[in-house]
Chain A
């Protein structure tokens, strides 16, 4: 285990909490589905524009739902002063960041496990392929890494519900662009090289934000 031990303990704590009350996963999935349904009314989807518009709708739903879920993980920590307890634990700040990010990434991935098949069934876009797994893994890591930094920041501000999306959504735009384009390539059955070009952007974002999170998280938690 070594250095990974405390990291996994923090992520496991979040999963255990989630197992008990199912706060985050339920809100993530329900909210994402509602976004999918609303888009169905907002945009007239036909066989012609489906492959082009479908992936965009899917990732908007996931990004919006992600905001809700990430807000929730830190509101839970803040409400019962659990964050203070976490900070008192004899682990470094970057371990807390990686543990929380890993937990959030897990929640986003689990919700995608439900959202992707529902999207494929409701809209008839063929995204249930192996390549989608790579897109989902990379994009969820990026969303979780950026979301953990901003979630921890937003929770100590007034009107935290508005602060998280205002900070989070512009910053994650490269992930959204990459995920939408990659998913569209997957849906249209393009070659791996056409998909991977977009995955590279997300991978760069992931790398930068994991490193930035590790370096900056100590300043987020200080008070």
Chain B
């Protein structure tokens, strides 16, 4: 019998953790007395919001790595981080809005954290559009890497500007210097949900990275077949020859 590949085990574990998280959030953890039921959105919102901001750092690391080494694997990593960043960014914005509607009475407000997240989300979208419209290969990867670096250094300036402009978002509820506090059951729920969400994020990141790698492999294979075509007369023999070489 063939053993399960590590990725399948990882996926199953993540799915199980997600199930546990849902049970903790909706059944086990007590309702927060001031904010009511909607506060449960926070257990999901906090980890995805952290990842949305973390993703731009990952994109920047991949981008700097690519610009320095010119190795495609750094670019695959940056590209995959941007794609997963769009997903968690959208989730952070949506779950935040769900929380905000009953608490702030609006779906959206132009607070520093919200504004920064939204603008970063648009920079991610710009990154993916750039990948689609830029010339394929190294030049496109390099242009995207420049945007990845710029996005990361721009983020603190956007936050600083928006913070001075207006602020309404509650402070952090956990960690050093937090201005709120959580009951131990709530903290445990947040911890488990964070592990589940982080694991799902990492899984998506790895999957997208593998897709990028496969794409590059296919392009490389196509290039070799074409080269063999031009070397040998007759298309069929050329392709066969390339395959035997590859």
| A149 close to B146 (CB less than 8 A) | yes
| A170 close to B134 (CB less than 8 A) | no
Question: Would you give the 0/1 interface string for A157-196, flagging 1 where the beta carbon is closer than 8 Å to chain B?
Answer: 1110011001100110110011001000000000000000
Given A157-B143, A219-B146, CB of A177 within 8 Å of CB of B165: yes
Distance in Å: Cβ of A214 to nearest Cβ of chain B: 13
Given A163-B129, A208-B153, A216-B150, CB of A157 within 8 Å of CB of B135: yes
Report the Cα distance A95→B10, complex, angstroms.
50
Indicate which residue in A149, A153, A201 contacts B160 across the interface (CB closer than 8 Å).
Answer: A201
**Majority secondary structure, B binding face:** helix
Report the Cα distance A190→B156, complex, angstroms.
27
Cβ of A222 under 8 Å from chain B: yes
Question: Would you give the 0/1 interface string for B141-164, flagging 1 where the beta carbon is closer than 8 Å to chain A?
Answer: 011011101110110011011101
Cβ of A204 under 8 Å from chain B: yes
Given A149-B150, A157-B133, A220-B146, CB of A174 within 8 Å of CB of B126: no
Cβ of A197 under 8 Å from chain B: yes
Given A149-B146, A174-B158, CB of A181 within 8 Å of CB of B139: no
Query: Contacts of B142 on A, CB cut-off 8 Å?
Result: 219-220, 222
Report the Cα distance A181→B115, complex, angstroms.
16
Cβ of B104 under 8 Å from chain A: no
Query: Contacts of B143 on A, CB cut-off 8 Å?
Result: 153, 156-157, 220
Question: Which parts of B106-153 form the interface with A (CB within 8 Å)?
Answer: 115, 119, 122-123, 125-126, 129-130, 133-135, 139, 142-143, 145-147, 149-151, 153
Given A153-B130, A156-B143, A212-B150, CB of A170 within 8 Å of CB of B161: no
Cβ of A205 under 8 Å from chain B: yes
Query: Contacts of A173 on B, CB cut-off 8 Å?
Result: 115, 119, 158, 161-162
Given A167-B130, A173-B158, A219-B142, CB of A197 within 8 Å of CB of B153: no
Of A158, A219, A223, which is in contact with the most chain B CB atoms at under 10 Å from its CB?
A219
| A163 close to B161 (CB less than 8 A) | no
Cβ of B15 under 8 Å from chain A: no
| B146 close to A163 (CB less than 8 A) | no
Query: Contacts of A157 on B, CB cut-off 8 Å?
Result: 130, 133-135, 143
Query: Contacts of B200 on A, CB cut-off 8 Å?
Result: none
Query: Contacts of B149 on A, CB cut-off 8 Å?
Result: 212, 216
Report the Cα distance A177→B147, complex, angstroms.
21
| B157 close to A205 (CB less than 8 A) | yes
Distance in Å: Cβ of A148 to nearest Cβ of chain B: 12
Indicate which residue in B125, B160, B162 contacts A204 across the interface (CB closer than 8 Å).
Answer: B160
Report the Cα distance A159→B132, complex, angstroms.
10
Indicate which residue in B125, B126, B151, B161 contacts A201 across the interface (CB closer than 8 Å).
Answer: B161
| A170 close to B126 (CB less than 8 A) | yes
Report the Cα distance A174→B161, complex, angstroms.
6
| B126 close to A166 (CB less than 8 A) | yes
Cβ of B216 under 8 Å from chain A: no
Query: Contacts of B161 on A, CB cut-off 8 Å?
Result: 173-174, 177-178, 201
Report the Cα distance A171→B127, complex, angstroms.
12
Distance in Å: Cβ of B74 to nearest Cβ of chain A: 13
Distance in Å: Cβ of A173 to nearest Cβ of chain B: 5
Report the Cα distance A198→B67, complex, angstroms.
34
Distance in Å: Cβ of A13 to nearest Cβ of chain B: 24
Indicate which residue in B133, B150, B162, B164 contacts A171 across the interface (CB closer than 8 Å).
Answer: B150
Query: Contacts of B162 on A, CB cut-off 8 Å?
Result: 173-174, 177
Distance in Å: Cβ of A147 to nearest Cβ of chain B: 12
| B129 close to A219 (CB less than 8 A) | no
| B133 close to A167 (CB less than 8 A) | no
Indicate which residue in B126, B135, B154, B164 contacts A197 across the interface (CB closer than 8 Å).
Answer: B164
Give residues in A with beta carbon < 8 Å to B: 146, 149, 153, 156-159, 162-163, 166-167, 170-171, 173-174, 177-178, 181, 197-198, 201, 204-205, 208-209, 212, 216, 219-220, 222-223
In the complex, the 5 A-B pairs of residues with the closest C-beta atoms, listed nearest first: A174-B161, A157-B133, A170-B122, A177-B161, A174-B157
18 residue pairs from A and B, CB less than 8 Å apart: A149-B146, A153-B146, A156-B134, A156-B143, A157-B143, A159-B133, A166-B125, A166-B126, A167-B130, A170-B123, A171-B150, A171-B151, A174-B154, A174-B157, A174-B160, A216-B146, A220-B146, A222-B139
